[in-house]
Structure 1
Amino acid sequence: MASSLRLSTVILPVRRWHEGGREVWRRAEELGFHTAFTYDHLSWRVPFRDGPWFGALPTLTAAAAATDRLRLGTLVTSPNFRHPVTLAKELLSLDDISGGRVTLGIGAGGTGYDATALGQEPWTARERADRFGEFVPLLDRLLSEDVVSHEGAFYSAHEVRNIPGCVQRPRLPFAVAATGPRGLRLAARHGQAWVTTGDPKLHETGTPAESLAAIGGQIERLSAACAELDRDSGELEKILLTGFAPGAPLDSLDSFVDFAGAHAELGITEIVLHWPIADTIFAADQKLFERIATEGLAQLG
């Protein structure tokens, strides 16, 4: 069953490892965050587009060696530039190096800068969903079975070996980012967690109350998708990646408590805060951020 509310962070891969990068991941562990995620992109939006940006899986591997207890993960990996066969091997290795501390956040991908980095034409929302619908089940098999063969519309695997398998059994957990019906069904079937950023239509102009209602509706649809499979939706952790939906959880400790409490009442079980980065949309007071990390959940009672 899903646990009580947990607090995690997402650390963008923008720092050289030996010039402060390693210390951020260690500090995240010291502060008691449940998981530290990072984005799995080749590049991201302005102002990060033309600045330092490192690879997700090497960064997480280094973070695994620099920490002992902190869970680690992507938020999120997508088919935009990943293939299930090679991704599975890298994840299996990362799970081993970390001692079973990895969660794979996975989504259908978007239309950002790296969506066409391999030279393909931009995929429509339907095309992304089609690929995601094959990507997730195949990745599930690759991480769960010793030998896998598959011939699909988009991906193939020929007698692929993934021995000895994941440290976490039957495989490392999937946190599936989805809001549409097809994605929610994938989350219900293959996910150990579900991820939302809220309703994208409300990110810029919506109110906190509208956002809460939208997230509540998403959770209801997720529950319905689980019910179709005779699965208890309470088995899935429900993760909110903040920084996009209306609300200001990093304005003050009280703001965080109000924000977290309202979302916990909806059924959210994990809140993810962006590690502060000055002069970006993720700018925040570092001391306040660390106080929220160490005191925020206790304030919820």
Structure 2
Amino acid sequence: MNLRLSTVILPVLRWHEGGRERWQRAEELGFHTAYTYDHLSWRTFRDGPWFGAVPTLTAAAAATERLRLGTLVTSPNFRHPVTLAKELITLDDVSNGRITLGIGAGGNGFDATALRPSGEEPWTPRERADRFGEFLPLLDRLLCEDVVSHDGTHYSASEVRNIPGCVQRPRLPFAVAATGPRGLRLAARHGQAWVTTGDPKLFENGTPEQSLQAIRGQADKLAAACDEIGRDVAELDKVLLTGFTPDSPLDSFDAFVDFAGRHAELGFNEIVIHWPLPGTYFGADEKVFERIAMEAPAQVSGGATAA
């Protein structure tokens, strides 16, 4: 199995003060895809600079030539399928077909309350799942069909036109982030890739082995969801976003190779690491990071076997 190594570049730098150079360096280092988070603000970065994902990716598309680009991930928390589809078609055109949409049901962060009246509770997990279950199929149609109408419970579209559609056909790929049964069924039906960050309950007090077992269980559930609809789970790429498991894969080159190899054996063919940000949770040795980018994929691919 060939391992693809990708990175997440958090949108915290002004474009003309290091932002452009970071995306260009990602291409130079040979990353498969450079993603960014699609949030209005995020966790400890809330009171600092944080730029919009779609404009950032548009600028990155103009500043690079080969690097794939994408969100990891967007959600219905502050998006609507109609406007998102138009932006994605444009972004796919500007990049000449280099966009992947990472998408999930959303969470309880700042995005969950930013557009809601003061004091109103955010959507419950069930409500988020309900909305995602309508959002994703509608977005699929909007990116594939020239004219779409939809009168749903949560979203509507009235003779929406999306001509000429995506450069990538029939549409740009979806990387669906999911661990629950409803999300995994959506990934099985609509995804070209599946994304996980592991089991959040194990992040602080779990062990790497417990995390590996939990991720194996998630992959098994994805396979079962694919079986339900007669789809071969091997058709989906398996993407692991690092930084949220008990492991420390960026501590050293050898630590990453070991981590990546163990997850490649579970069938993961894309691993995503965060670009180091000194003084934050994502702080790491940039020399180690760059060596991992340039050397680790070949070393892991040479020793990995498909699950």
Q: TM-score, normalising length from structure 1?
A: 0.98
Is 1:93 the counterpart of 2:90? The answer is: yes
Corresponding residue of 2:66: 69
1:159 counterpart letter in structure 2:
E
The CA distance in 2 between the partners of 1:136 and 1:180, in whole Å, is 15
Of 13, 17, 22, the match for 1:19: 17
Question: Runs of 4+ in structure 1 displaced over 6 angstroms?
Answer: none
Cα distance, 1:203 vs structure 2: 1.2
The CA distance in 2 between the partners of 1:298 and 1:180, in whole Å, is 33
Cα distance, 1:216 vs structure 2: 0.4
The CA distance in 2 between the partners of 1:63 and 1:193, in whole Å, is 22
Cα distance, 1:4 vs structure 2: 2.2
Corresponding residue of 2:165: 165
The CA distance in 2 between the partners of 1:34 and 1:299, in whole Å, is 16
The CA distance in 1 between the partners of 2:18 and 2:148, in whole Å, is 40
Q: Secondary structure at the match of 1:288?
A: helix
The CA distance in 2 between the partners of 1:205 and 1:4, in whole Å, is 32
The CA distance in 1 between the partners of 2:148 and 2:287, in whole Å, is 49
Matches within 5 A, 1:24-173: 24-46=22-44, 48-120=45-117, 121-173=121-173
Could you tell me which runs of 5 or more consecutive residues in structure 2 were left unpaired when the two chains were aligned: 303-307
Q: Secondary structure at the match of 1:14?
A: coil
2:102 counterpart letter in structure 1:
G
Matches within 5 A, 1:163-202: 163-202=163-202
1:228 counterpart letter in structure 2:
E
Is 1:220 the counterpart of 2:217? The answer is: no
Could you tell me which runs of 5 or more consecutive residues in structure 1 were left unpaired when the two chains were aligned: none
Cα distance, 1:21 vs structure 2: 0.2
The CA distance in 2 between the partners of 1:49 and 1:252, in whole Å, is 29
Cα distance, 1:299 vs structure 2: 2.1
Cα distance, 1:5 vs structure 2: 1.4
The CA distance in 2 between the partners of 1:104 and 1:112, in whole Å, is 20
8 Å CA contact 2:3–2:298 kept in 1: the answer is: no
Matches within 5 A, 1:199-210: 199-210=199-210
8 Å CA contact 2:105–2:132 kept in 1: the answer is: yes
1:42 counterpart letter in structure 2:
L
**Aligned-pair Cα RMSD in Å:** 0.7
Cα distance, 1:298 vs structure 2: 2.1
Q: Secondary structure at the match of 1:296?
A: helix
The CA distance in 2 between the partners of 1:230 and 1:49, in whole Å, is 43
Q: Secondary structure at the match of 2:43?
A: coil
Q: Secondary structure at the match of 1:75?
A: strand
The CA distance in 2 between the partners of 1:266 and 1:95, in whole Å, is 31
